[in-house]
Chains A and B, each alone.
Chain A
Amino acid sequence: MADAAFWAICLVVAPLFFAISSFVRGGLAHVFGPLAAWLNALAVLGLTVSFARSGPLRYAIGGWQLPLGINFRIDGLCVLMLAMTAVTGLAVSMYALGYFSLRIGSARQMSRHEQQRLFFWPLWLLLWAGLNGLYLSSDLFNIYVTLEITGLAAVSLTALSGKPAARLAALRYLLVSLLGSCSYLLGVALLYRCYGILDMAALSRLVSPGPLLWCGLALLTAGLLLKTALFPLHFWLPPAHANALAPVSAILSGLVVKASFYLLLRLWGEVFAQVLPPAAYVLLGALGCGAVLWGAAQALLQKRLKMLIAYSTVAQLGYLFIALPLIRLDPGPAARQAVVLLILSHACAKSAMFMAAGSIFLKAGHDRIADLAGIKEVLPVSSFAFVLAGVSLMGFPPSGGFVGKWLLLGVSLAGGQWWWGMMLVTGSLLAAGYVYRVASRLLVFKAPFFSRRQAIPPVMEWSAVLLAVLAMLLGLLAGSPLELLAAGNQVFSPAGLEVLR
């Protein structure tokens, strides 16, 4: 079997290649797209296996060693994020296959839907390549470029639905993303000016407190926070995520916001962990608390299903930030493991939710929560997927979210900062509230009245269910991914970053 580097290259090259191919040969887009998704899954599998065997790895692109060249850095966290993207992306791709063929199948506005499919695949594959590149790269400026790819593709995908609201949301998203990139770029520039190097691992050995470092770090963080949509900066997220096409919503909420959070985790969790003061972590944690409360409160008030899910994303992102001070607090790996678990399970659960909501939308013709009673009768599988995903968002055992929250709770209690733990529990209860709002309607018996629309293809329903089940079982299977994380346990400790090939 080829080594990890080969698979890593595949992960970037294959989506790019198929993106271009599916653009040039538009007629085959819906063949190339799923093909790329499967290949990507295969490559991640290969990467995981060879990573488990041979451990962390550094790969010099162009053969240029560190100060000059760009390096891939493959470690446990990176592999897990890639795997998350691969699995969720595969499910979304399968879903999209059914979604677009269903919409094209309906006579109304066929050509328009065909156009959407034509552009969905290359855009999504480019987005995918951007995500993979981001997770693999260890170079701050290279990450800027991948962030741009991700952001631009995400914006285009958001606007793909063509609804005025979606376009407006996309415009706002784009402006925010511009601002975020700008801030990030300046941060990179300042750090480069200080230390003359762009590689994260190398940087972590050089950093020393100084005014320019603080400014650079503040700018990097601000840019990423904007892209991650942390609480006061979340305003752009709900309309964008709620108005996009269903597979796009799943991608945006499940995967795209994770990318910038992953970067924050890298920066705050390892690269600059040595120099950052604890108060900064507490600030982010406090904002996370705000996100949990505000997002959940808004989700409780929404009238439309997709808006509710989007606000729940805002709330769930808050959890990830609450984890940051706990990472700082915790000498052991528990808090880090918890964050990774939360990321993974949220990706699965949220994608599944949006996918199920998309099926419901297509079937019912609307997504007004108040009028969805009885949808279970016509869409049992999707309703089940939605509820299951919701349950895992609530952090019910044995979902991955539960194990994550459990670990964080333990850390916060052990460290004497119990308020973080209380916030997690409160957030779970609030999540239960908004999931209940939908679930209580979905599960009610009522004579079916939606059946005039065409049947939802099974692939759409089952891909959502599989993701939801995965999110639910993630807690039971948590051991193996976290072992993988520990295999590059150096992941989080700066000393281990210098694993040269």
Chain B
Amino acid sequence: MNWGGLLLVMILLSSLVPGLIIFALPEKSNRPRTVLNLGGALFKLLLILLMNVGIYQGRHFTVRWQLLPGLELLLNSDPLAALFSTLSTVLWLLTTLYAVGYLEQSPNRRQFFGYFSICVTVTVGIALAGNLLTFLLFYELLTLTTYPLVTHRGTREALAAGRVYLVYTLSGGAVLLVAVAWLQVLAGPVEFGGPPVAASLGAAHEGQLMALFFLFIAGLGVKAALVPLHGWLPRAMVAPAPVSALLHAVAVVKAGVFGIVRLVHDVYGTQFAAGLNLLAPLTILASLSIIYGSLCALREDDLKKRLAYSTVSQLSYIVLGVSVAGPLAAIGGLVHLVHQGLMKITLFFCAGNLAETLGVHRISEMRGIARRMPVTMAAFSVGALGMIGFPPMAGFVSKWYLGMGALAADRLWVVAVLVVSTLLNAAYFLPILIKAWFTPPDCSWSEQGGRGRVETRWMLLAPPLLTALLVIAVGLLANAQISPLAWVKLIVGLEYGP
């Protein structure tokens, strides 16, 4: 194994090993567990940075493990992988910090943190997967490792949600399995990064390739929460806040979207897919998801559920960007992968703070809450405004590129969708902000909970603040050399040519 390959394996092990050790540790040993978790996360971040530097310098890391001839696991570091794995790692670090604070008094932390670590391992595995089989492997494992997190509370409601979650994701996984196997039969092992495999198959298999595309979308769309397949997502809100945060910002939904990006870019190739008229339906589906998700969000009073539907809507920006088939739109979509993650995790952290500190779950209970928790609500506001797309926040950058891309591709109706959805975003986020900042408190929330010198424990406060700052930073510094946008431009450049 070469050094680069070792680096990739180490990246996976740096969270897997702490996870396994955590399972072996007794429930009571909190300090070693925290140290392990944070140590692992920091170490992983370090390794990821190393990898990014390497990629920036034009190096290429791969590691292969052959199961059978024609059946091998492949880890590969291309810029897209780097983007997603960096996002996961950074957010994992913050979420771990948050979760340590959030779960301070709750039982079964051993299990929680164990699965949490393994879940991140698997997510990074999805990012680094170099071929379809490896992607499938981690994609399926993600289902397994997130299930215990979703049902962590063990209540009847949580179990029911877990069942729904499993039914959706396992079915999706089965469809994906069939699709991958089918494609492999047609084309042999499908590796990412090279010339798109489907395109090389050419016209002879057009019919099959079209059918396959829909199978793939059906399989990946479950986790990506595309509209008819999104049913599990709002229900999975019963999970603890850090889980929801990670699930929504990074792990599950992003895995699905990431898969779609891989599918369009690396398996079919944008040109080829567009040539087969496969992308237009995808665009329509994404638009539907955007509008439908927003409309549903409007109706919800439960804060986390509103955020969940907002996720359904926001995720589809990414799909939209990829499916419009132009470099600018692709930039917008891909950068939204990062931006949405940052914004959404901020929002969920804040929602978790409200719930944990004040027991506030509903929007109707949030009158004047900013006076009680100004820092949290400030972070929340940054996230929400970013979502709406106020400049100079992160969301603005994404939407700008999306809009430009749609114009460049002559799809005016896509621009219309963007405008409508922005209005809807504003419609469901602004009332919250107004209620929180500008209405007098009616003190409907309970006052017990960690009242310290600041509004709540620092471990709960620091992560949302940091992510909020990041949201602003990536927007303000979008043109910097190491911003996500720059990185995405590099990726898109690879796909569409400079």
Residue numbers of A with Cβ under 8 A of B are 337, 391, 396-398, 403, 406-407, 409-410, 413-414, 421-422, 425, 428-429, 432, 436, 440, 443-446, 475-476, 478-479, 482
**Across the interface, do A425 and B159 meet the contact criterion of CB distance under 8 Å?**
no
**Across the interface, do B136 and A397 meet the contact criterion of CB distance under 8 Å?**
yes
Q: Closest CB-CB distance, A337 to chain B, in whole Å?
A: 7
Q: Closest CB-CB distance, A376 to chain B, in whole Å?
A: 9
Partner of A396, one of B141, B162, B184: B141
CA distance A459 to B222 in the complex (A): 42
Number of interchain pairs (Cβ within 8 Å): 68
Scoring B67, B144, B159, B182 by chain A CB atoms within 10 A of each residue's CB, the highest score goes to: B67
15 new A-B contacts at CB < 8 Å, known A396-B140, A403-B71: A396-B141, A396-B144, A397-B136, A403-B68, A406-B177, A421-B181, A428-B174, A429-B174, A443-B148, A475-B67, A476-B73, A478-B67, A478-B68, A479-B66, A482-B68
Task: Report chain B residues within 8 Å CB of A440.
Answer: 151, 159, 162-163
Q: Closest CB-CB distance, A477 to chain B, in whole Å?
A: 8
CB of B166 within 8 Å of the partner chain: yes
CB of B7 within 8 Å of the partner chain: no
**Across the interface, do B182 and A479 meet the contact criterion of CB distance under 8 Å?**
no
Task: Report chain B residues within 8 Å CB of A478.
Answer: 67-68
Q: Closest CB-CB distance, B310 to chain A, in whole Å?
A: 29
Q: With contacts A410-B184, A475-B67 known, is A425 near B178, CB below 8 A? A: yes
CA distance A407 to B133 in the complex (A): 12
Q: Is the interface of B mostly helix, strand, loop or mixed?
A: helix
CB of B450 within 8 Å of the partner chain: no
CA distance A421 to B170 in the complex (A): 16
CB of B364 within 8 Å of the partner chain: no
Q: Which 8 A-B pairs have the closest CB atoms?
A: A397-B137, A445-B154, A409-B181, A414-B185, A413-B185, A425-B174, A444-B154, A478-B67
**Across the interface, do A443 and B151 meet the contact criterion of CB distance under 8 Å?**
yes
Q: Closest CB-CB distance, A420 to chain B, in whole Å?
A: 12
Q: Which residue of B lies closest to A482 (CB)?
A: B68
CB of B439 within 8 Å of the partner chain: no
Q: Which residue of A lies closest to B72 (CB)?
A: A479
Q: Which residue of B lies closest to A408 (CB)?
A: B181
Q: List 27 A-B contacts (CB under 8 A).
A: A391-B144, A396-B141, A397-B137, A398-B67, A398-B137, A406-B133, A406-B177, A409-B178, A409-B181, A410-B181, A413-B181, A414-B185, A425-B178, A428-B174, A429-B170, A429-B174, A436-B166, A440-B151, A443-B148, A444-B159, A445-B107, A445-B154, A446-B154, A478-B67, A478-B68, A479-B66, A479-B68
CA distance A428 to B151 in the complex (A): 22
Q: Closest CB-CB distance, B345 to chain A, in whole Å?
A: 26
**Across the interface, do B177 and A432 meet the contact criterion of CB distance under 8 Å?**
no
CA distance A322 to B163 in the complex (A): 29
Q: Which residue of B lies closest to A394 (CB)?
A: B170
Question: Scoring B residues 171 to 182 as 1 if CB is less than 8 Å from chain A, else 0, what string do you get?
Answer: 100100110011
User: Considering the complex, which residues of chain B in the window 30-84 have a beta carbon less than 8 Å from any beta carbon of chain A?
Assistant: 65-68, 71, 73
CA distance A327 to B68 in the complex (A): 18
CB of B108 within 8 Å of the partner chain: yes
Q: Closest CB-CB distance, B163 to chain A, in whole Å?
A: 7
Q: Closest CB-CB distance, A238 to chain B, in whole Å?
A: 25
CA distance A497 to B94 in the complex (A): 62
**Across the interface, do B182 and A413 meet the contact criterion of CB distance under 8 Å?**
yes
**Across the interface, do A337 and B68 meet the contact criterion of CB distance under 8 Å?**
yes
Task: Report chain A residues within 8 Å CB of B137.
Answer: 397-398
Task: Report chain B residues within 8 Å CB of A407.
Answer: 68, 71
Task: Report chain B residues within 8 Å CB of A396.
Answer: 140-141, 144
CA distance A425 to B177 in the complex (A): 8
Q: Closest CB-CB distance, B133 to chain A, in whole Å?
A: 8
Task: Report chain A residues within 8 Å CB of B107.
Answer: 445
User: Considering the complex, which residues of chain B in the window 104-121 have a beta carbon less than 8 Å from any beta carbon of chain A?
Assistant: 107-108
